[in-house]
Amino acid sequence: MNIKIIALGKIKEKFLKDGTDEFLKRLTPYASVEIVEIPAIEIKDEHLIKKVLDEEAAKILSHIKPQSYVITLEITGKMLSSEDFAEKINSLTNDGTGEIVFVIGSSWGLSQKVSERADFKLSLSKMTFLHQFARLLLVEQIYRAFKIIKGETYHK
């Protein structure tokens, strides 16, 4: 399985980068995971939010193949248990999906254009997280999903 995570902005905090790198390393036996970092555009005038999100959308969408299965992380997305998330990934694998693309927006969210491209909208929680922290949570949950799929033990 090929997994691509498209994320706006770089991880600045060392502890978040170290945690993300650790789970990416753990994922290597299960999937090929690529992280594409797109520079977030700083918004100084809130009247420009839609324009900036659309500019970011063009960059995001340029990294998505037409046949890729796209999961966006959105506050209004569906919340899944770890077991349900594992079943979702397993089902996509069994259906012959070659690539799953996860998209994490900036602190301003995602353009409607990206949201419309999504095959599935996922919410990690009703809580709001820093987008950098959301990346760590996502790679941990992807790792956990593969452990569940393979019937291997992992922390409960």
Domains of the chain (ranges plus CATH)? 2-149 (3.40.1280.10)
Q: What confidence score (pLDDT) does residue 94 get? A: 95
Q: What confidence score (pLDDT) does residue 156 get? A: 58
Average pLDDT over residues 24-43: 94
Whether 122 contacts 104, CB under 8 Å: no
Q: What tokens appear for 10 in the block?
A: 């770089």
pLDDT at residue 56 above 80? yes
Average pLDDT value for the chain: 94
Strand 2-8 versus strand 99-104 pairing type: parallel
Q: What confidence score (pLDDT) does residue 79 get? A: 97
Q: What confidence score (pLDDT) does residue 130 get? A: 85
CB neighbour class for 82 (10 Å; exposed up to 12, middle 13-18, buried from 19): middle
Q: Is 66 left (phi over 0), alpha (psi -120 to 50) or beta?
A: alpha
Average pLDDT over residues 27-52: 92
Q: What confidence score (pLDDT) does residue 15 get? A: 96
pLDDT at residue 137 above 70? yes
Whether 70 contacts 91, CB under 8 Å: no
pLDDT band at 40 (very low <50, low <70, confident <90, very high): confident
Q: What confidence score (pLDDT) does residue 155 get? A: 65
DSSP states of 38-96 = EPPPP-SSGGGHHHHHHHHHHHHHTT--TT-EEEEEEEEEEE--HHHHHHHHHHHHHTT
pLDDT digits (tens, 9 = 90+) for 70-127: 999 999 999 999 999 999 999 999 999 999 999 999 888 899 999 999 999 999 998 8
- Comparing 66 with 40, the larger pLDDT belongs to 66
